Chains A and B, each alone.
Chain A
Amino acid sequence: AQSVTQPDIHITVSEGASLELRCNYSYGATPYLFWYVQSPGQGLQLLLKYFSGDTLVQGIKGFEAEFKRSQSSFNLRKPSVHWSDAAEYFCAIKLTFGQGTILTVHP
């Protein structure tokens, strides 16, 4: 069975700082990996996805993620965080989601 772990429940960064959200997965084959974002009172929106090929994938809103098979990780990054990035972020394999990481951005 597949599983997804997001080790950080809550992360706080200052506006303009860099960001990395961690995601580890367990899956027997090459996974289909996703990052979604959820703003308060909203559904989830896809940020980016990895199916195959280049292990560094670019997404919307300036986010990127890197697939590392040796570490079973798919961490999400952004070089400079904006206040509007404050939200909850979910890593997923197919239909299985992690617990989510809440991002707070300080001005």
Chain B
Amino acid sequence: ETGVTQTPRHLVMGMTNKKSLKCEQHLGHNAMYWYKQSAKKPLELMFVYSLEERVENNSVPSRFSPECPNSSHLFLHLHTLQPEDSALYLCASSKTDRDPGELFFGEGSRLTVL
């Protein structure tokens, strides 16, 4: 099994749809992250979870709603998105969130909002 798995790999949704992105890590890590990758911009850290508790939320609009039911799974619920939300959403994990060391990334979910 790969370390960090993201589904779906591609998602097209309308502005009124509700969808979810899923991330699963098989590395026994305690911290998980959502990043947004847009063209010509640095990776934007969206959310940080440590031991299933959210420890950081970098001013992300409420139309993005994360959920971490256990240390192996992380979701990003999407609702009423805007076209500018189209991007590659990357999930990552690390052993801890304090001095996290190396991040292990999934392959990303490519989101297109029409």
A interface residue numbers (CB < 8 A to B)? 4, 9, 32, 34, 36, 41-46, 49, 51, 90, 92, 94-100
Contact yes or no, B42 A97, CB < 8 A: yes
Contact yes or no, B102 A42, CB < 8 A: no
B33 near A: Cβ within 8 Å? Answer: yes
* Cα(A9)–Cα(B103), bound, Å: 23
Contact of B4 among A43, A92, A100 (CB under 8 A): A43
Count of chain A to chain B residue pairs whose CB atoms are closer than 8 Å in the complex: 48
* Cα(A36)–Cα(B105), bound, Å: 10
**Chain B residue with minimal CB distance to A45?**
B105
With A32-B99, A32-B101, A44-B103 known to touch, is A95 a contact of B108 (CB < 8 Å)?
A: no
**Chain B residue with minimal CB distance to A41?**
B107
Q: Give the residues in chain B near A100, CB-CB below 8 Å.
A: 42
Report the interface size class on chain B. Answer: 20 to 34
**Chain B residue with minimal CB distance to A44?**
B105
- Chain B: minimal CB distance from A49 (Å): 6
Contact of A42 among B42, B45, B104, B107 (CB under 8 A): B107
Q: Give the residues in chain B near A41, CB-CB below 8 Å.
A: 107
Known A9-B40, A32-B101, A43-B107; further 18 A-B contacts with Cβ < 8 A: A34-B103, A41-B107, A42-B108, A43-B6, A43-B92, A44-B92, A44-B103, A46-B103, A92-B103, A95-B33, A95-B45, A95-B48, A96-B45, A97-B42, A97-B43, A98-B42, A99-B40, A99-B42
Contact of B102 among A46, A90, A96, A99 (CB under 8 A): A46
Q: Give the residues in chain A near B106, CB-CB below 8 Å.
A: 43
**Chain A residue with minimal CB distance to B56?**
A95
